[in-house]
Amino acid sequence: MPPRPHGRKLLPSEVRVSLVDPELRDRVVAFRRDLHAHPELSWQERRTAERIEDHLRGLGLAPRRLCETAVVVDLPDDRGRLDAGPMVALRADMDALPVQEATGLPFASTVPGVMHACGHDGHTSMLIGATELLLRRPASRPVRLIWQPAEERGTGAAALIRAGVLDGVGIIFGGHVDRHHAPGELVVTDGAVNASTDLFTLHITGRAGHGARPHESLDAVVVGSLLVTALQTIVSREVDPAHPSVLTIGSFHAGSAPNVIAGQATLQGTIRAQEASVREHLVRGLERISSAIGQLHGAQVRLEMDEGTPPLVNLPEPTAIARRAAALAVGPARVTTLRTVNMGGEDFAFYLQHVPGCYIRFGARVQGRESFPAHSGEFDFHEGALECGAAWYLHVAHEGAAALGGGPR
């Protein structure tokens, strides 16, 4: 039975699983709690990387660094070979968020304003557990383990790809804890599972003036307000409702005094889509409407796009591999699919632009804390997910190796 979550009693609705030996389970839980107490932001994961390296060296392995804080290690196949054709890659992210923790956990963050509020401490620890399992039971192909920085900034995967992390890789797998699903469940879904995450800024230039003489000015606040309203019609009137998409204005800055008409305004927002064609349509709509409203009022409206992560789409064949592995790890009855559309982003999508792969969810709901979402100071996950994740990584390495031609499953 997995460890009880921070001393809380397991409720009847929580699935009990026992997938790894108690000593390994305890090591993985302890590793997670240590990381949780010492979170590090994107590209600052130095202590985290050192902890991972120390553990791997203690297992007789020779990890290497990429991009300063990424840790990568290759495990030989079941014949001791590292050069036996394309390898299976397993990825975990490891960065925290600029969030003040409010969980009250005994191992809460000791770093003010920084917290593992998304479960990356869990992902890192799952892969630590999987490392030990794979050393006991090697796959029929070499396996590359990747501890990736800077997922929260959406830049870690792309940087590692440029550094060659996918060289020699034939297939890749990863996953994320999910509070919507019970511990013991593994969530494997075909098709889109995460959205694109582009950001945009609209710079509006009008003409400042006295609040009592509006006819002498060109009000940037009015132009910006019209933009906020008009841009909503792209999703509501131009995109098929069957294709999820979002356009959000999250920031509107203008003006300096109540009796001064603003000559400058800045709007910032995000667009999200699960399909490349919808993503492109949202960008074109932004360009068209911002230009038209600027011309209508004689203002200058300049659009800046900050391209984020692409949609994450699981293709059928690697998803079938991930599903077989999930069934082997927790039993077919505990393998399920996503119940709701997820418009969050995930830079694992960059890997899938280069090699086939699949991204899943690890059920991690904590009874009584379901309402606290990821990126919240109250976020927590059920530690029973740790052994489920480690077991799935073990099985998906074997299933992926077989699919690459590394021998029978």
User: What pTM did the predictor assign?
Assistant: 0.91
Answer whether 5-195+310-403 and 198-306 agree in fold. Answer: no
Residue-by-residue DSSP string for 166-207? TTTEEEEEEEEEETTS-TT-EE--SEEEE---EEEEEEEE-B
Domain 5-195+310-403 has CATH 3.40.630.10: yes
Q: What pLDDT shows up at residue 6?
A: 45
What is the per-residue pLDDT for 368? Answer: 79
pLDDT given at position 341: 79
Instruction: State the pLDDT at residue 372.
Output: 86
SS (H, E, C) the chain: CCCCHHHCCCCCCCCCCCCCCHHHHHHHHHHHHHHHHCCCCCCCCHHHHHHHHHHHHHCCCCCEEECCCEEEEEECCCCCCCCCCCEEEEEEECCCECCCCCCCCCCCCCCCCCECCCCHHHHHHHHHHHHHHHHHCCCCCCEEEEEECCCCCCCHHHHHHHCCCCCCEEEEEEEEEECCCCCCCEECCCEEEECCCEEEEEEEECECEECCCHHHCECHHHHHHHHHHHHHHHHHHHCCCCCCEEEEEEEEEECCCCCEECCEEEEEEEEEECCHHHHHHHHHHHHHHHHHHHHHHCCEEEEEEECCCCCEEECHHHHHHHHHHHHHHHCHHHEECCCCCCCCCCCHHHHHCCCCEEEEEEECCCCCCCCCCCCCCCCCCCCHHHHHHHHHHHHHHHHHHHHCCCCCC
Q: Quote the CA–CA distance of 37 and 390 in Å, as a whole number.
A: 21
Residue extents of the structural domains in the chain? 5-195+310-403, 198-306
By C-alpha distance, which of 96, 143, 101 is closest to 124? 96
pLDDT of residue 5: 41
Averaged over successive runs of 10 residues, the pLDDT of the chain (409 residues) comes to: 39 48 95 98 98 98 98 97 95 98 97 98 98 97 98 97 98 97 96 96 98 97 98 97 96 97 98 96 98 97 97 97 97 93 94 98 89 92 96 98 78
Q: What does the pLDDT read at residue 9?
A: 38
The pLDDT of residue 409 is 46
Residue whose structure tokens are 């990825």: 91
Predicted local confidence at residue 407, as pLDDT: 58
Q: Give residue 258's pLDDT.
A: 97
Question: CATH classification of 198-306, choosing from 3.40.50.10490, 1.10.10.10, 3.60.20.10, 3.30.70.360?
Answer: 3.30.70.360
CB atoms near residue 23 (< 10 Å): 9
Catalytic residues: 95, 151
